[in-house]
Chains A and B, each alone.
Chain A
């Protein structure tokens, strides 16, 4: 069974540009969550999509957005990049039923560097 796949693994962008990151969840999983990991702030929740709808949202500015497609694949977009957006972006997938028998599986992340 394939795991969570994030592409690309590494990305270098210039301030002011925009970027799109992709996440393919485990087959059958309908929930995709995104997290930002930085040395200073740790792991912070960005948003969660379930069946193409944003179900939960963290405290990030509107420059951070996402979407989910009918096949559960998800994309995350960051517009007008700032130096502080440099981070490891992690995606996690789960069945999303909210039951105790489910767990979130993480991808290997996309390392974004803004210069």
Chain B
């Protein structure tokens, strides 16, 4: 079974400050990892993904995440927060093969950005 834990249901930062959203996963097989963002009353938009290869993954809107197998972590960072980054962020994991279409999500982290 797979699981995802996002540490901190709410994170608040000032505009221009570093954004760090934490995600730890549990998987019995090499995982595929994703970060999604959701704005109010909208679906999910993919920020970035890790499948294989380079462990530092760059995504859209200046976000990046590093896959650390030894720590079973996939934390999301952005050097400088912008007001438009305020949203809810979800970390997700899946296996490959025929289970690829089944994503297991964390509980989400609401990011608030203060002026």
**Chain A residues engaging chain B, CB cutoff 8 angstroms:** 4, 31, 33, 35, 42-45, 48, 50, 55-56, 58, 90, 92, 94, 96-109, 111
Contacts and interface: CB of A to CB of B under 8 A. Distances in A.
Contacts, number: 72
A50 B102 CA distance: 12
A98 B98 CA distance: 6
Give the 9 A-B residue pairs with the shortest CB-CB distance, closest first: A100-B51, A106-B43, A48-B101, A98-B100, A43-B105, A106-B44, A56-B102, A98-B97, A108-B43
A63 B2 CA distance: 25
A91 to B, nearest CB: 8
A94 B101 contact: yes
A43 B90 contact: yes
Contacts of A94: 100-101
Contact of A45 (B49, B51, B98, B103): B103
Interface SS of chain A: strand
B45 A45 contact: no
21 contacts: A33-B102, A33-B103, A35-B103, A45-B102, A50-B101, A56-B98, A56-B99, A92-B101, A92-B103, A96-B101, A98-B96, A100-B32, A100-B51, A101-B51, A104-B46, A104-B101, A106-B36, A106-B43, A106-B44, A108-B43, A109-B43
Interface string B66-100: 00000000000000000000000010000011111
Given A42-B105, A43-B90, A43-B105, A102 B43 contact: no
Nearest to A108: B43
Interface residues of B, number: 26
B52 interface: yes
A105 B46 contact: yes
A33 B101 contact: yes
Contacts of B51: 100-101
A109 to B, nearest CB: 5
A94 B100 CA distance: 9
A55 B101 contact: yes
